[in-house]
Structure 1
Amino acid sequence: MDIQTATILLFTLAFAILLTGIPLGFATSAVAIVFAYSWFGPDALTIVTSRMYGIVTEPSLGAIPMFVLMACLLDRSGLSTDLFNGLRILAGKLRGGVAVQTIAVGFLMAAMSGVIGGETVLLGLLALPQMLRLGYSKNMAIGSVCAGGALGTMIPPSIVLIIFGLMTRTSISDLFTATVVPGTILMLSYVAYILIWCYLRPQDGPPLSDEELEKIKNSDVSPFNLVILPACLIFLVLGSIYTGMATINESASLGVVGALAILVIKKRFTYKILDASVRATVNTCGTVIWAGMGAIAIVGIYNMMGGGAYISSLFAGIDAPPIVTILIMLGIFFILGTFMDWIGIAMLTLPIFVPIVVSLGYHPIWFGVLFCINIQVAFMSPPMGASAFFLKSVAPPDISLFDIYRSFIPFILLQISVLVLVMIFPQLALWAL
């Protein structure tokens, strides 16, 4: 069997198994074992197990459970609710103010947890009912909730960035730094769109009523006091990384300590919360580990078969500027993202694509930023955009999936615009290198 036929057969078999509902880690592991045995013989099976063991012992992977545990503790600490209430002052008499507030909370929650998906659910519970009650249009309310929640894909300490750095052997700290400017531009573009749209169509984002404003002013708790703890946690985690005082793993551990301290300060710490957080962390990280082991095994066997060189020759044979190759890769990411989890996409494609990107003369950090924005687009795109299903699980019954996907359109266009902007001006991502 030649490598071309083997490539088609390998990936067809892997996707066919995935369609049966078998988890990614088991599907890719099974395919890796089959091809290792049939291509190299029984002695090659030890290669599969050694590659699986290699990812389990990867030091950089230690940051993921710590950040996930921190996010789980924050979910149960009520900090997101406090943060949302503390930023109500942003809304005021501003048209679209609550939607802007939602984007700001999504940005800050992403900077504290780094886990995508959870923010969408939290904002769906906190912000969506309030905006609908105030008379916001469904499109504005739904779009701002999911756009704010999706920011977790690229705002440090994003798990997406950690996985990218792990799979491509690039500096995670540099990746964190690289996404600051594009992530901020994306967040500000959301805010600008909301303000402009609500200025042109005031009925889509009415301001808070005088009664609501009076209630905020007469609150016993100062909005500043509600925001100060989240600000301290963000400074603790990201400040320790950017100042060089801590490694990624150490800053993740500091984040867990900070989250526990917040629970204690707010007198919300209980064994039940700690137990539920640890269990959720184990479940989440177990999925990541199994997916990683399977993907590493199948990619390793495929490269040994000559697959990496074969894919490189395919891209090298494209008679077009190198940027076209980048666009094709981004297109593949997007197509896969409409029906496949981002973890699987990253682990299956990045070890093959990134060496090609480097050979074309592009910086892997720049490509990492493009990857994160692309994943964010896929996260909100039909037919299987995960963000829609996260929101649907907590949205009122009268909000359909069609309503949700229709609301995504302007925000997806903004994401694509920022993607193009970073492609045209690489220094937006490489400014600190």
Structure 2
Amino acid sequence: MNALFDLAAIGIGPATLLMFGLLVLLLLTGMPLAFVTLLVALVFALGGYGSMAVGLITSRIYTFVNSFVFVSVPMFVLMAAMLDRSGVARDLFDALKLIGGRIRGGVAVQTIFVSVILAAMSGIIGGEIVLLGLIALPQMLRQGYNRKLAIGVICAGGSLGAMIPPSIVLIIYGLTANVSIGDLFTASFVPGFMLATFYVIYVLIMSYFVDGTAPVPDREHVPTAEKLRLLKGLILPIMVVIFVLGSIYLGIASVTEASAVGVAGVALSAIIRGEFTWPFLRDSAMQTLATVGMIVWIGIGATALVGVYNLMGGIHFVGGLLTGISDNPTVIVLVMMAILFVLGAFLDWVGIALLTMPIFVPIIKTLGLDPVWFGVLFCMNMQISFLSPPFGPAAFYLKSVAPADISLGDIFSSLLPFIGLQILAVAVMIFFPGIAMY
């Protein structure tokens, strides 16, 4: 099959606008992103280069799905699916009452701590927000917490799985940018906890200095036997975190091997708790299949589109545009962050990573900047996208379990202070890269 039109005659600039316009038009029809990107890739490949270009698309797709590290994605998703169905999160929340019950705003603070531990166990969002929406939101509303603070804490805390290892976002970035995922996990550890600390500080300031934000804590005496019972809820989750992250950081296991250790640890926890049944395993596997299937299809479409755009010379074109903006690398990074911020309001993070990182990462390397540091920046930016209107997924996850009188508008307005904290964290990371590159 011969080419139907001459891309060289059209020019890379108009061709880029045409490709982007076709993407937007098809997305507005409601077609899934995975099929939109694959369809546009086929249109430009077959139309501009003929049937010979199909080999390029298939070879790039094969390279993407053939990576050994990619096996860790379904394993970590399976961990999260099993956590969703177990009582681990509820036990964690109850155990941390021993700390949270002593300070004003304690329930909100312990919700953030639970979010951090759950993030370190699974590495994805969605399930965490739903779990905390069922466990923590009713308790905070019943105790008289400011509704906006309660909503914001659950959505922002539940999204920490994108930042704290073993983050699926970091794994996809590492695969796309050809960067060591172990290095990414190490680099993101401190920034992830820094962001969680920003949330805690904000909660404490609001609780102690703004009237009506949080109730005065009820310091009731807890018997020693009850304390020991509650503390047992910390043992299994912390052991899973230690085995998964410890095996990676100590060089005992690769990321893929550690993901298998994590699945075994969560399964063992469910067995010990008497929760490991056939419906438990079947539902967890079906949820994993649906999630990973979505990631793979988006990856196939985005990889094909980037391959065709690279064949057109588009990556060099966009690189020239970005590097021509300024001689200052920081300005170029800020422009990239702005582009990711806008895309994050409309597209899924998987598509954003696979569409933009093959373009952005070579520029970062050309500027002499560290792609590992940029990967942490990217994850922080995606944190913002999880909360940003109009399509921030965190809001929709919480809406599915929130009381009927809480609207999506209420949720999105509650997230604005936390989006501000996330933007602050991105700025800190840009101007103080040593936080990640310690």
2:303 is the counterpart of 1:296: yes
Aligned equivalents of 2:373 and 2:422: distance in 1?
16
Quote the Cα distance in structure 1 between the aligned partners of 2:223 and 2:264.
31
Query: Residues 191, 397 of structure 1: CA spacing in aligned structure 2 closer, same or farther, 3 A cutoff?
Result: same
Map 1:249-398 to 2 at 5 A. Answer: 249-398=256-405
For residue 341 of structure 1, report the CA deviation from its aligned partner. Answer: 0.8
CA distance in structure 1 between the partners assigned to 2:229 and 2:138 by the alignment:
23
Within a 5 Å distance, the mapping from 1:204-215 to structure 2 comes to 204-209=213-218, 213-214=220-221
Q: 1:300 to 1:217 in 2, by over 3 A?
A: same
Name 1:135's counterpart in structure 2. 144
Contact 1:168 1:351 in 2 (8 A): yes
Q: In the TM superposition, what whole-angstrom CA distance separates every residue of 1:43-67 from its partner, at most 9, and x where no partner exists?
A: 2112212222222212111100000
Give the whole-Å Cα distance in 1 for the aligned partners of 2:263 and 2:123.
12
For 1:228, give the aligned amino acid. Answer: I
Q: Structure 1 CA distance, aligned partners of 2:260 and 2:30? A: 34
**Contact persistence 2:83–2:266 (CA under 8 A):** yes
Alpha-carbon separation, structure 1, partners of 2:228 and 2:271: 18
Q: Could you tell me how far apart the structure 2 residues matched to 1:215 and 1:72 are?
A: 33
1:350-400 CA-to-partner distances (Å, cap 9, x unmatched) read 111110111111110111111111111121111221111111111111112
User: What percent of counterpart residues are identical?
Assistant: 50
The aligned residue for residue 49 of structure 1 is 58
Q: What one-letter code is carried by the residue in structure 2 that aligns with 1:111?
A: A
Between the aligned partners of 2:122 and 2:138, the Cα distance in structure 1 is 23
Q: 1:216 to 1:7 in 2, by over 3 A?
A: farther
Q: Distance in 2 between matches of 1:179 and 1:300?
A: 29
Name the CA shift for 1:96/1:33 in 2 (closer, same or farther; >3 Å). Answer: same
**1:408 partnered with 2:415:** yes
Counterpart-to-counterpart distance in 2, 1:92 and 1:309 = 56
For the 8 Å contact 2:124–2:161, the answer to whether it is kept is yes
Verify: 1:61 aligned to 2:60, yes or no.
no
8 Å Cα contact 1:51-1:296 kept in structure 2:
yes
1: CA distance, partners of 2:31 / 2:310: 24
What's the CA shift for 1:116?
1.3
The SS at the match of 2:193 is helix
Aligned to 2:163: 154
- Decide which of 20, 30, 39 is 2:48's aligned counterpart: 39
Are residues 1:171 and 2:186 paired?
no
Distance 1:223 1:406 in 2: 35
Instruction: Work out whether 1:14 is the aligned partner of 2:19.
Output: no
The equivalent of 2:132 in structure 1 is 123
Residue aligned with 1:42, SS: coil
Conservation of the 8 A alpha-carbon contact between 1:92 and 1:207: no
- Please list the CA deviations of residues 65-104 of structure 1 after superposition, one character each: whole Å capped at 9, or x if unmatched: 0000011111112111111111111222311000000000
In 1, Cα distance between the equivalents of 2:200 and 2:46?
54
Asked whether the 8 Å contact 2:386–2:392 carries over to 1, the reply is yes
**1:202 Cα shift?**
4.7
- Select the residue among 410, 417, 428 that pairs with 2:424: 417
Alignment of 1:206-245 (within 5 A): 206-209=215-218, 213-214=220-221, 219=226, 222-245=229-252
- Structure 2 residue 195 is matched with structure 1 residue 186: yes
| C-alpha separation in 1, matches of 2:227 and 2:306 | 57
Map of 1:75 onto structure 2: 84
Q: Which whole-Å CA distance do the structure 2 matches of 1:191 and 1:95 have between them? A: 12
1:29 equivalenced with 2:67 (yes/no): no
Q: Offset at 1:402? A: 2.1
Give the 3-state SS of the residue equivalent to 2:52 in structure 1.
helix
SS at match of 2:436: helix
Q: Is the 8 A contact 2:326 2:332 kept in 1?
A: no
Give the equivalent residue in structure 1 for 2:116: 107
Conserved? CA contact 2:98–2:227, under 8 Å:
no
2-structure distance, mates of 1:291, 1:244? 31
Q: Determine the C-alpha separation between the residues in 2 that align with 1:139 and 1:216.
A: 34
Match of 2:107 in 1: 98
Equivalent position amino acid for 1:47 in 2: L
1:166: Cα distance to partner? 0.5
- Structure 2: how far apart are the matches of 1:33 and 1:411? 40
Distance 1:217 1:120 in 2: 31
SS in 1 for 2:215: coil
Counterparts of 2:62 and 2:35, CA distance in 1: 15
Partner of 1:428: 435
Q: Which amino acid aligns with 1:125?
A: L
Q: Mark the runs of 5 or more structure 2 residues left unpaired by the alignment.
A: 1-9
Pick closer, same or farther for the CA change 1:310–1:350 going to 2, 3 Å.
Answer: same
